Structure 1
Amino acid sequence: MPDFHLFAKGPRPVAPFSHAVEADGWVILTGQMPTDPAAPDAPLPDGVAAQTRRVMDNLGLILAELGLDMSHVVQCRCFLMEFERDYAAFNEVYQGYFAPDRRPARTTVGVTALAVGALVEIDCIARRPDVGEGM
């Protein structure tokens, strides 16, 4: 059975969802918004670079609650409101969260709208390292 995780330290959900769902060592994190977990009603950071940092930090916070970190991420889906304008700045921030030889698979798409008026949203899939070893 899957485990459904909602963490008190995590960002306040902007819709009815769990922060993460885990099954058989796979951990699927809900798309994170650039909201501040300590001040969920505060204005969003200005610009895609600042919002990308906040989103990545939020993903890191959820991973840490699960005893994981960015090195366990195997795939990301990234959504940008202003794809052509923001793609380079987004990539500059994003790549700093992963070792150059351990970047997850990724899809990035431009969208017409995101919750809370965000410029960026990212979800990801992580894998626990000890699951399936020795098989």
Structure 2
Amino acid sequence: MSAPIHTEKAPPPVGPYPHARRAGNLLFLSGVGPRKPGTTDIPGVTLDAGGRIVAYDIEAQCRAVFENVRAILEAAGARWEDLVDVTVFLTNMRDDFATYNRVYAEYFPDPAHRPCRTTVGVDALPTPIAIELKCIAALPDGASLPPSTTR
């Protein structure tokens, strides 16, 4: 099995797992949330004194999570266009699905090259976020990891 992939350009995982791991020409990303790299800040989130979500901006979180996925892909020597499967977890399917679809279409403008996708509604995620992505990328034949898998 390949070495785990970590990058300082994405927020650290919230548990004991790597940002990604490569197996053959497939790259498996762990769940990626919208936290800002280098901080615990979550774009567009207002928390109460107990750390519960009072309000959030799903569009800001969508954009942040896509940028975090991009940073992990690049650290692993992959590109956005290498994504073949995306699973999205939304904590408010009814209110957030349309916004997610709109932002997703901006990041994947060509329908012929959009990855497969599954959207799942969940009650909660491990941190006070409204969205998390789980992604798989297929790397071109002969693609190699960057010299260091910690970037």
Match for residue 57 of structure 1? 67
Gaps of 5+ in 2: 45-55, 143-151
Shift of 1:43: 4.0
Provide the identity percentage: 37
RMSD of Structure 2 on Structure 1 (CA): 1.6
User: TM (normalized to structure 1)?
Assistant: 0.90
Q: Deviations over 1:34-85 (max 9, x none)?
A: 10004x2224324111101000000000011112121100000000000011
Summarize the Cα distance change of 1:73–1:15 in structure 2 as closer, same or farther, 3 Å threshold: same
Match for residue 115 of structure 1? 126
Shift of 1:103: 0.5
Q: Deviations over 1:89-110 (max 9, x none)?
A: 0111112112322010010010
* Candidates 79, 86, 93, aligned match of 2:89: 79
1:41, 1:2 → 2: CA distance? 28
Contact 2:84/2:136 (CA < 8 Å) preserved in 1?
yes
Gaps of 5+ in 1: none
Q: Secondary structure at the match of 1:112?
A: coil
- Tell me the matched-pair count: 131
User: TM (normalized to structure 2)?
Assistant: 0.81
